[in-house]
Structure 1
């Protein structure tokens, strides 16, 4: 998961989308999706980040076709059950799609949330 977070931070730097609160949200989304793949889907096969003028899309591909199910709400005092809740709340949209012998779980963030505000100090 550390490699996935590092890869994401570097990509956000390369795109000029670093040093914002939302860029840290993107790193947390990657971490949560990778953790879920590790815990529930025999690990991540591939982490894909796609960016365009309007959207950052994060995809974690794994080796099972079982789609994720978000619990209604995390239960206090009980471990687990917060990953997809976090994904839902930090992203502008998320979902999953099966293919062949696996699936991709994805989350999207609007690019406007990742762009740094230009101030007189910049």
Structure 2
């Protein structure tokens, strides 16, 4: 991993032949919001042939919300992991702060902040938060849907 660009150096992608699984793992640098579009692009590449129309775009949106939350609200590094299995995608964003995120309703319709977890709640097939050593993992799952 390059110290000057941790959001680039920690990438791995691939899958075990014959398992139908592929994985992306990306280290995101502390408060480096350039990591958000880069993570979206890496996920887009992983999901190029996955799911019914629109599912990959939904995954990109939800992943970018979780990545943004981790970088903005923790002021620490984070790790994005996306695992594609038969018919299902699981995206996890691990950070190193134990404080649990809470969905909140924006105070007025013009407020552009505070909608990330509401989007995850409404668009993901499943989502949650789990404690993970030092910090937590916020995750979501999407079904590929009928092809």
- The aligned residue for residue 90 of structure 1 is 123
Deviation digits for residues 55-102 of structure 1, max 9, x if unmatched?
20000111101111112x333233411010111111111111111111
Listed as ranges, the gaps of 5+ residues in structure 1 are 118-122
Q: Which has the higher contact order (CA 8 A, sep 6+)?
A: 1
- The aligned residue for residue 59 of structure 1 is 92
Q: In structure 1, how many angstroms separate the alpha carbons of the residues matched to 2:69 and 2:81?
A: 15
Q: Is the 8 A contact 2:51 2:144 kept in 1?
A: no
How high is the TM-score relative to the length of structure 2?
A: 0.69
Q: In structure 2, how many angstroms separate the alpha carbons of the residues matched to 1:93 and 1:44?
A: 25
Q: In structure 1, how many angstroms separate the alpha carbons of the residues matched to 2:75 and 2:47?
A: 27
Distance 1:77 1:23, change over 3 A: same
Q: Is the 8 A contact 1:67 1:103 kept in 2?
A: yes
- The aligned residue for residue 3 of structure 1 is 38
Question: How far off its partner does 1:19 sit?
Answer: 7.8
Q: Is the 8 A contact 2:93 2:139 kept in 1?
A: yes
Return the match for 2:62 from 21, 24, 29.
29
Q: Is the 8 A contact 2:52 2:144 kept in 1?
A: no
Q: Is the 8 A contact 1:57 1:106 kept in 2?
A: yes
| 1:49 to 2:100 alignment | no
Listed as ranges, the gaps of 5+ residues in structure 2 are 1-35
- The aligned residue for residue 74 of structure 1 is 106
- The aligned residue for residue 137 of structure 2 is 104
- Partner SS state of residue 80, structure 1: coil
Q: Aligned-pair RMSD on alpha carbons?
A: 1.8
